[in-house]
Structure 1
Amino acid sequence: MKAIILAAGYGTRLQRDVENDKTERFKHLFGIAKPLLPVGHCALISHWIQAMTATGCVDTIFVVTNALYFEDFQAWAQEFPNVKILSDGTKTNEERLGAVACLQLTVKHFSVEDHVIVVGGDTLFKEDFSLLKFTERFSEHQARHADANLVLSYQCKEEETSKYGILEVDAHMRVSCMKEKPRPSETQSRKACPCFYLFSKGSLPLLDVFLEEKKNAPIEERDAPGTFLSWLILRKPVYVHEISGRFDVGNLPSYIDCDQYFKDRVQDINVYLH
């Protein structure tokens, strides 16, 4: 199994917050890519590398970033022999390829023909998440259907449905549809879906089909990885594995919350292994 960490974003909201912070307490974060931000005892992205390496669930981890941060990621990755860095070639947010195109670029560049864990580079979970249990659940679904995929979900508040992709599932926890930022009245589900997917190797060729269909569409229709997931649900079986919650580092307040949580409550580097 392989892993791809999507780290090609420019973190414009967070950088703007840091620049405008009157206290200057966080000025040391200016110019740092979100996945490389210090969270707890290490960089945000390092939590995933440590967990994936220790469990042995993946043999190679690919990190796709942009040309602006490429050298920073190269320097960071020197201590991780199983990590390979790829640049998408862009230098500004306006040039960005979008997450789905970056995923496809990585699959093609490294000739990936294996099941792939896809992780948003600005995402972490609470300590009840288990990488081992997640991959075991995937194997169970694979035993029944070779093209099965597995995603995470957590219960969001009613007023938060309009912020997230919301999954609707059947009695067997198979996803029937994904509604993008619906009003609470538009769905009874409160299952928010973070960017952490396990795509079967049989689903990866559909990246080409999706992007060919969307080649003339606005980038918003192919930027967030959830746009591909929503499309995939209608073509391949996708199941849900539930967790209690996540951290999505999008701005300075969310970064502060995440960092403090990991400093206060997550002391064990093996947090995601159990």
Structure 2
Amino acid sequence: MKNIVIAAGYATRLGELTKNFPKPLLKIGENTILERMLDDIDRIPEIDEHIIITNHKFASIFEDWKKDLHYSKPITIVDDGTETNDTRLGAVCDLLFAMDKLHIDDDLLVVAADNLLFFSFQEFVDFAREKGTSCIMCHEQPSIEKLQRTGVVELDENYRVLGMEEKPQVPKSHWAVPPFYIYQKKDLDLVRHSVENGCGKDAPGNLAHYMVEHTTMHAWPMSAGRFDIGSLDTYYEACELAKQGKINIIMEKIELNNKTIFVTGAAGFIGSNLVKRLFKDVKGATIIGIDNMNDYYDVALKEYRLNELNTAVTEGSTWKFVKGDIADKQTIDSIFEEYKPQLVVNLAAQAGVRYSITNPDAYIQSNMIGFYNILEACRHNPVEHLVYASSSSVYGGNKKVPFSTDDRVDNPVSLYAATKKSNELFAHCYSKLYDIPTTGLRFFTVYGPAGRPDMAYFGFTNKLLKGETIQIFNYGNCRRDFTYVDDIVEGVYRVMQGAPERKKGEDGLPIPPYAVYNIGGGQPENLLDFVQILQEELVRAGVLPADFDFEAHKELVAMQPGDVPTTYADATALERDFGFTPKITLREGLRAFAQWYKAFYCK
């Protein structure tokens, strides 16, 4: 297999930086953009040569650059003979030019040279080998505007491409296509035919579109994200991320199939939904769940979730539930000793900001002692990855919005927030001292069917059904970044598979394999708008009558101690590293909740 690097463009959007210099050779930190890509691709056994196609203006620069390189596979620079942007051949014609000049008759990995990646191309090559077809990559993209600037594919359940559009005005799916392709040897004639049939010489997406119509292709859903260096702003942003050590790594790919996974808080709202997802998508896994089944809210709801799990176990999966408390060290140690989990997802916690004002002991026990017990168990029984729930409440009264994981979070306004911040500090310490890969996830206002009754949407529904008045805090001047539970679970599922890389620093100690991400929709809703949508969906589902007098059941009140006026997630890091942003709208989510509530409570 040949690695074909398309690098003949003039990158006019980067101004003076690339006026007389190729964009792929710009440095991001210590290495060039292209070197960061080749460092990964060179390790793929199937690759036997790197072929870099460039223009006549830059060919000598590439030749000088490669003199000091020491890759295991040879590098060939192909000069396409063009000298100006006006005369350039275009990406597709450049590919055809190299194929003819070098008499290439082999499988091809074709890549654009201006991307930083957070996954290994080996996964893409393995996927193509498994499918036995030419392949493209894809990732979910909720933004219609962004989809209109890229290729979009429709897929079946096996990721076979059913159709593809390049830069559609009305996208038919949310699967966007980045510029990375594998073309099998048997399909190379289609490259020639595509140009002969006028599919477009410049956009690789047009070639892929043509091939989809003439041969079977599959699309690999990227396991992590990418960073497109498409402008001066993105280039400088990448340089800054490199300084912070956030762009130097490729995530360590964690295979979930046939693994033992320990999920704490398994009867909880997020935990139960995650276990369901693992049953559905992970083959041959042994999943150990623990929950103390306390009465912070209706235990019947937790038992309902457990019953759902017991009926959701798929063939080949093993499910073990332990009724116990993570604050009990002996219980945790015995689980690790007996089952030896390879991945741990810690979702057990005493939740609730307001409850922490009156019941602080519960938070110290579960959120601090409990998490300490998990960390100690991971220390003495090494795991591949520990993922744990933090919270958006760590941002406290942060005035800057949206909230970024780069913001200082040293001023919590509730004990709950303080315990969650302590979890992040504990995790960093254990990552540094014991080389445990840890990832904390700051969840933003999670909601959905079978959720927590103490959350506003659930509590409001209960009170309205009883004819009671609901209190809307801060006189309705609060905004919340509501995140549907399926989006939270999708984020957790992806993060589980990408552990921070383990490597040593100059002091010989581990550079902490530690990360923190926000998971939030990035679209904060005003509480009054939220209540309006909720009431409309409750009426639509038949939970409340159409003539219900909502205005008579609302009371605007002052802010409560420990609460904050706004939560608003900057989730760009999650999209960058894992190719995912939450996409379910508030109305879609509240509609699902209302339908579930009707079926569960209004029988």
Same fold, TM-score > 0.5, yes or no: yes
Figure out how many residues of one structure are paired with residues of the other and give that number: 247
C-alpha displacement of 1:259 = 2.9
Structure 1 CA distance for aligned equivalents of residues 195 and 171 of structure 2: 28
8 A Cα contact 1:155 1:245, kept in partner: no
Amino acid at match of 1:84: T
Answer yes or no: is 1:176 the counterpart of 2:162: yes
Deviations 1:158-209 (A, max 9, x none): 33211111111112111111112223xx234111111111111111111111
Answer yes or no: is 1:130 the counterpart of 2:116: no
Deviations 1:76-129 (A, max 9, x none): 11224611001110000000101000001111111111111000111222x2x2
Structure 2 CA distance for aligned equivalents of residues 48 and 203 of structure 1: 25
Amino acid at match of 1:257: E
Structure 1 portions without partners, runs of 5+: 20-26, 143-147
Q: Equivalences for 1:1-274 in 2 at 5 Å? A: 1-15=1-15, 19=16, 31-78=20-67, 79-80=69-70, 82-125=74-117, 127=118, 129-142=119-132, 148-156=133-141, 157-183=143-169, 186-214=170-198, 221-243=200-222, 244-263=224-243, 264-268=245-249, 271=250, 274=253
C-alpha displacement of 1:14 = 0.9
Structure 1 CA distance for aligned equivalents of residues 207 and 251 of structure 2: 26
8 A Cα contact 1:51 1:273, kept in partner: no
Structure 2 CA distance for aligned equivalents of residues 273 and 59 of structure 1: 24
Structure 2 CA distance for aligned equivalents of residues 222 and 161 of structure 1: 21
Structure 2 CA distance for aligned equivalents of residues 115 and 69 of structure 1: 27
8 A Cα contact 1:177 1:234, kept in partner: yes
The 1:30–1:9 alpha-carbon spacing in structure 2 relative to 1, beyond 3 Å, is closer
8 A Cα contact 1:131 1:272, kept in partner: no
Deviations 1:212-251 (A, max 9, x none): 122xx8xxx2211111100000111111111243222221
8 A Cα contact 2:144 2:171, kept in partner: no
Task: Give the TM-score, by structure 1 length.
Answer: 0.84
8 A Cα contact 1:40 1:266, kept in partner: no
The 1:261–1:174 alpha-carbon spacing in structure 2 relative to 1, beyond 3 Å, is farther
The 1:3–1:176 alpha-carbon spacing in structure 2 relative to 1, beyond 3 Å, is same
The corresponding residue for 2:490 is none
8 A Cα contact 2:9 2:54, kept in partner: yes
Worse-matched range after superposition: 44-53 or 255-264: 255-264
8 A Cα contact 2:152 2:172, kept in partner: no
Q: Which structure's relative contact order is higher, taking Cα pairs within 8 Å and 6+ residues apart?
A: 1
Structure 2 CA distance for aligned equivalents of residues 175 and 34 of structure 1: 31
SS of the equivalent of 1:95 reads: coil
Structure 2 CA distance for aligned equivalents of residues 273 and 90 of structure 1: 40
Worse-matched range after superposition: 148-157 or 243-252: 243-252
Identity across matched positions, percent:
30
Structure 1 CA distance for aligned equivalents of residues 95 and 242 of structure 2: 28
Structure 1 CA distance for aligned equivalents of residues 210 and 90 of structure 2: 16
Structure 2 portions without partners, runs of 5+: 254-603
The corresponding residue for 1:145 is none
